[in-house]
Chain A
Amino acid sequence: MEILVCARRVPDTSENEIQINPAGNDIERDDLVYSINEWDNYAVEEALQIVARVGGSVTVVTVGGQDDEEILRREMAMGATHGVLIADDAFAGSDARGIATILKAFVQKGRYDLILTGVQADDGGAQVGGMLAAMLDYPFASLVNGIEVLDAKKLKVTREIAGGNREVSEIDLPCVLSIQTGINEPRYVGMRGIRQVASVPIPTPSAAELGIDPATVGHAAAKVKRVDYFVPSLGKGAEMLEGSREENIDKVIELLAAKGGLK
């Protein structure tokens, strides 16, 4: 099975202290540490596990610039067969629809049976997967937390739905699935693995090579534009506990018990 995983590099929320820039339209990016979007990492692991079971290859693709190559290397160190960096100045400022347009063009240049995305990106809106499926006219399933290959044309997918329930569906290939965290346990990638793939060439197709009309992507074509970025002020309902850690722990337990959260 030929699998394409669409991935994205995001600021790692666990290793950064996110602060808003003085202009108030973005976060401070000077001292940030980036990593692969966590959902995408699960998607790559799932793709690798499927290929280990039924054969095939895994291609990881991202839209971005030179800096984004690091996540491709990391996923290749995990075992992805190819990494592709779609890079063009024309892409700058694309909204989700623009990104989906770019990915659609890339998908149509190759032959993929299955396309995986993360459910959402740390700094995104869970839009690209669905849009990409619609543009390709492929079936789509979101929040997937289990995949079983039935045959060359059909998958059985498990989806997480509200209340922790599971829904099982059959879906025709080719299709797009957005992958939920927890579907698997992604393998560890260390520096050694990354170094071993350091010299593997990564193709960087441009808009022209993919036949993308620059007018359909980028800032100018974006129909959704970010106008503000802020940290919400504390609402009235939030109570900040003050005191030593031990006192706070006791208070939290007391409050939880009072509200019926602890039994």
Chain B
Amino acid sequence: MVEGIQSVPQVASALVQARILFLIIHVLGVGCFGYIMARRLAPLFRAERDLRFDRPWERLGKVGKFWLGQWRHPRYRGAGIMHILVFAGFILLATRAFALVLGLADSVAVPESVGHIYDVVKDYATTIVFLCMAVAVFRRLVLKPPRYAVPTRYGKGHPADAVFLLALIALLMVGDSLFAASKVAFQAQLGQREDFLAVLSLPWALKHVLLSASLPALQEIHFGGFLLHDLTFFFLLCYRPFGIQFHVETSLFSVFFAKLDRGTLKPVRWGVPDDQLEQVKSFGVKTFENFTWKHMLDFYSCADCGRCSDNCPANAVGRPLSPRFLTIKARDYAFRHYPMFGKATNGQALIGNLYAEDEIWSCTTCGACEEECPLLVEYIDKIVDLRRGMVDDGNVPQSLQKPLKSLESRGNPYGKMEKKKADWVRNKEFEPTCKVKILDGKNGADTLYFVDSITSYDDRMQSIGRATVRILDHLGVNFGILGGAEKDSGHEVRRFGEETLFMALRDDNVEAIKESGVQRIVTADPHAYNALKHDYKDIPPVEHISQVIAREVKAGKLKFEPTDNGSVYTYHDPCYLGRHNQVYDDPRDVLDAIPGMKRVEMKRCRDRSFCCGGGGLMLFYEPKEEQRIGVRRVEMAAEAGANVIVTACPFCMVNIEDAIKVAGLEGKMTAIDLAELVDQQIAREAPKESETAVLVGG
């Protein structure tokens, strides 16, 4: 190690003592870490199954993109870039740290040039990580980004803990740098060939500080640096599993085992087919152990960065839900009930203790939290599992019981009669202009228009239905509807935790769809679209009407009259079309194909779109909130300078039209469905140029 001025036996004895000391530290450190990890993993072995070992290449791809590539971090520019720097530094230094810990630092046989390049990179990595820690401490203590704040109902903030952890990392960097710097200072004083230190790096700076130190002091500093690095390293290793930095260990696995398919829901029990579900004694999550092991892993991996709650519409309007604390509370529960020493205590009901009922019903399943989480933590599946547990216990808000019962008896949440389901096409003014086939066995068609409950029964939304059929009619599509045989798609029934009722609705619909003999399905309701696409099996392919329209526009088969009203349009992404199904461009392409269209984007658009307030059964739920979610959204549209909000979902329409009134923007802002707008703007007969001019003029 150190070429010293002491006698050979002294050096030898010091070396032996040092080796023994480090051996003890290493054995203790690794032993403690192993023990802690075993205790931390204990609940995962009592958890529910979760089949996450399929499609390994796709999973590795996710690791490459979201873990190694830190894909989502720059969505929060400052913090994200800093995290990327620290992460990159860690990866680079991990090699070095392991080498140091294993005592290989001086004996690694690498070609000198490679070693030299690595030294440069390492010196700067240390420096950058050190500086990032300084900035991070400054952010925590001085800038205090609001998303880190802990609302009083969730307990106290823990900035001291955060700063302590940051300081430990900084200390790790200092130890590493002192080790290198003291050695080079030593070499410099003896006039020996100096090891390389990158200019302006932390070790380089420390070397200059240490140049005047005495040789024995340098020896001690060299030894001390190593000891400091070693102790800090193992302390961190064993301390991280007690807090937010546990993600350093768990994130790789969380990302590898992350959910692969958007828009889907986890089954009630992994590995139990639908027809055997009746034998499952209890549905959903009632106690902590009912979570799957992957969901428990999520709790450990959460870095408490607050991005989920920062984007959560329920949290934004003061509903009693914060995805961040959904996780943090569960993590703390795991820590409390699976302690380091002593027996695990499990079996406590989560609802009423850890979580409030309102908290779990407040989620609109919009997916903003999941879209944002850099570690791909899942929320919707957990919320739905908790709801399944509540439904199984009969613990359902009164306001939801009526619609659920109506869905059971009438197949729609409004309790309307089945025979009136197709009344919307029998409208006096509409019927003579557009005949719609009812696919009841007497009529056949290639395409099914799946209308779903709200568009069938709600006076306002029927207009979306009629616009949709006029578009299909104009495109010459041979289509029909199921009429009374169509039940509610059950999309929200499932997301509200009523799996058995959902399966009954689904089975009825699948049968009706199969009997109709159609080859494809079109719907104008993103919730129905998502249900048919992801929750149903063995049915023809499904498209949302915006996709059909976009295709026909691209093919040049659909031409639009110009808009001439001077309105400024903005497109609101419905969650189940956008985030859950990635249909962002089609509706926008359609809008932009309308001549004269003035369109602006809201600040929150596309994958950061802000939920309208939730569809389906959420319309019946009465949450505690300071403001309606939709009002927030309408204000965002106003901020963007729009006076027409275009959406592509009947539930968005309900919420946005209500919100326009509540926000007092009536007369200043209107909402229109994409299908309605398209229907209104279709150039029914290819206009000649002169006629176009007249139309524009008129």
Give the interface of A toward B (CB within 8 A): 12, 14-17, 31, 33, 35, 78, 185-193, 195-196
- Give chain A nearest CB distance to B177 CB in angstroms: 63
**A16 cross-chain contacts in B, Cβ below 8 A:** 415, 417
A195-B278 in contact (CB<8A): yes
- Cβ of B392 < 8 Å from any Cβ of A? yes
**B404 cross-chain contacts in A, Cβ below 8 A:** 188, 190
**B153 cross-chain contacts in A, Cβ below 8 A:** none
Given contacts A190-B500, A191-B501, A192-B500, contact A14 B395 (CB under 8 A): no
A-B contact pairs, 20 of them (CB 8 A): A14-B415, A15-B416, A16-B415, A16-B417, A31-B417, A33-B409, A33-B410, A186-B398, A188-B394, A188-B395, A188-B396, A188-B400, A188-B404, A190-B391, A190-B501, A191-B408, A192-B499, A192-B500, A195-B278, A196-B278
Tell me the nearest residue of chain A to B412, going by C-beta. Answer: A15
The interface residues of chain A, by DSSP majority, are classed as loop
B419-A31 in contact (CB<8A): yes
Tell me the nearest residue of chain A to B500, going by C-beta. Answer: A192
| A17→B500 CA distance, assembly (Å) | 27
B405-A187 in contact (CB<8A): no
Given B278, B402, B419, which contacts A14 in the complex, CB threshold below 8 Å?
B402
0/1 string, B251-268, CB within 8 A of A gives 1:
000000000000000000
| A190→B388 CA distance, assembly (Å) | 11
**B417 cross-chain contacts in A, Cβ below 8 A:** 16-17, 31
| A190→B415 CA distance, assembly (Å) | 16
Given B283, B394, B419, which contacts A78 in the complex, CB threshold below 8 Å?
B394
**A185 cross-chain contacts in B, Cβ below 8 A:** 398
- Cβ of B250 < 8 Å from any Cβ of A? no
**A78 cross-chain contacts in B, Cβ below 8 A:** 394
- Give chain A nearest CB distance to B667 CB in angstroms: 11
| A89→B410 CA distance, assembly (Å) | 30
Give the interface of B toward A (CB within 8 A): 278, 283, 391-396, 398, 400-402, 404-406, 408-410, 415-417, 419, 498-501, 504
- Give chain A nearest CB distance to B648 CB in angstroms: 23
A12-B395 in contact (CB<8A): no
B409-A15 in contact (CB<8A): yes
> Closest 4 A-B residue pairs measured CB to CB?
A187-B394, A15-B415, A188-B396, A192-B500
A195-B395 in contact (CB<8A): no
| A34→B391 CA distance, assembly (Å) | 22
| A68→B498 CA distance, assembly (Å) | 25
| A139→B193 CA distance, assembly (Å) | 107
- Give chain A nearest CB distance to B664 CB in angstroms: 14
**A187 cross-chain contacts in B, Cβ below 8 A:** 393-396
The interface residues of chain B, by DSSP majority, are classed as helix
Given B393, B419, B500, which contacts A191 in the complex, CB threshold below 8 Å?
B500
Tell me the nearest residue of chain B to A188, going by C-beta. Answer: B396
Q: How many A-B residue pairs have CB under 8 A?
A: 57
**B283 cross-chain contacts in A, Cβ below 8 A:** 192
| A190→B419 CA distance, assembly (Å) | 24
**Additional A-B contact list (15), CB under 8 Å, known A15-B416, A190-B501:** A14-B402, A14-B406, A15-B406, A15-B410, A16-B415, A31-B417, A33-B409, A186-B401, A188-B394, A190-B404, A191-B500, A191-B504, A192-B392, A195-B500, A196-B278
B500-A188 in contact (CB<8A): no
| A188→B405 CA distance, assembly (Å) | 9
**A188 cross-chain contacts in B, Cβ below 8 A:** 391, 394-396, 400-401, 404
- Give chain A nearest CB distance to B493 CB in angstroms: 10
B394-A189 in contact (CB<8A): yes
| A16→B414 CA distance, assembly (Å) | 10
| A195→B500 CA distance, assembly (Å) | 10
| A195→B278 CA distance, assembly (Å) | 8
- Give chain B nearest CB distance to A228 CB in angstroms: 26
- Most-contacted residue by chain B among A12, A14, A188, A191 (CB, 10 A): A188
- Give chain A nearest CB distance to B220 CB in angstroms: 71
| A14→B498 CA distance, assembly (Å) | 21
**B500 cross-chain contacts in A, Cβ below 8 A:** 190-192, 195
- Give chain A nearest CB distance to B235 CB in angstroms: 51
**A17 cross-chain contacts in B, Cβ below 8 A:** 417
**B406 cross-chain contacts in A, Cβ below 8 A:** 14-15
Given contacts A78-B394, A192-B283, A193-B394, contact A35 B504 (CB under 8 A): no
**A192 cross-chain contacts in B, Cβ below 8 A:** 278, 283, 392, 499-500
Given contacts A35-B409, A188-B396, A192-B283, contact A12 B415 (CB under 8 A): yes
| A196→B410 CA distance, assembly (Å) | 22
- Give chain B nearest CB distance to A125 CB in angstroms: 25
Tell me the nearest residue of chain A to B459, going by C-beta. Answer: A245
B394-A35 in contact (CB<8A): no
**A193 cross-chain contacts in B, Cβ below 8 A:** 394
Tell me the nearest residue of chain B to A189, going by C-beta. Answer: B394
| A33→B417 CA distance, assembly (Å) | 9
| A90→B333 CA distance, assembly (Å) | 61
Given contacts A15-B415, A78-B394, A195-B278, contact A190 B409 (CB under 8 A): no
**B402 cross-chain contacts in A, Cβ below 8 A:** 14
| A191→B408 CA distance, assembly (Å) | 8
- Most-contacted residue by chain B among A12, A192, A193 (CB, 10 A): A192
A35-B278 in contact (CB<8A): no
**B400 cross-chain contacts in A, Cβ below 8 A:** 188
Tell me the nearest residue of chain B to A34, going by C-beta. Answer: B409
| A195→B394 CA distance, assembly (Å) | 14
- Give chain A nearest CB distance to B349 CB in angstroms: 15
| A90→B396 CA distance, assembly (Å) | 40
Given B405, B419, B498, which contacts A35 in the complex, CB threshold below 8 Å?
B405
**B410 cross-chain contacts in A, Cβ below 8 A:** 15, 33
- Give chain B nearest CB distance to A16 CB in angstroms: 8
Tell me the nearest residue of chain A to B403, going by C-beta. Answer: A14
| A189→B391 CA distance, assembly (Å) | 8
**A15 cross-chain contacts in B, Cβ below 8 A:** 405-406, 409-410, 415-416
**B504 cross-chain contacts in A, Cβ below 8 A:** 191
| A187→B391 CA distance, assembly (Å) | 9
- Most-contacted residue by chain A among B391, B394, B401 (CB, 10 A): B394
- Give chain B nearest CB distance to A127 CB in angstroms: 27
| A195→B280 CA distance, assembly (Å) | 13
Tell me the nearest residue of chain A to B390, going by C-beta. Answer: A188
Tell me the nearest residue of chain A to B405, going by C-beta. Answer: A35
**A196 cross-chain contacts in B, Cβ below 8 A:** 278
Given A33, A190, A195, which contacts B498 in the complex, CB threshold below 8 Å?
A190
- Most-contacted residue by chain A among B283, B409, B416 (CB, 10 A): B409
| A58→B101 CA distance, assembly (Å) | 69
**A33 cross-chain contacts in B, Cβ below 8 A:** 409-410, 415
| A35→B405 CA distance, assembly (Å) | 9
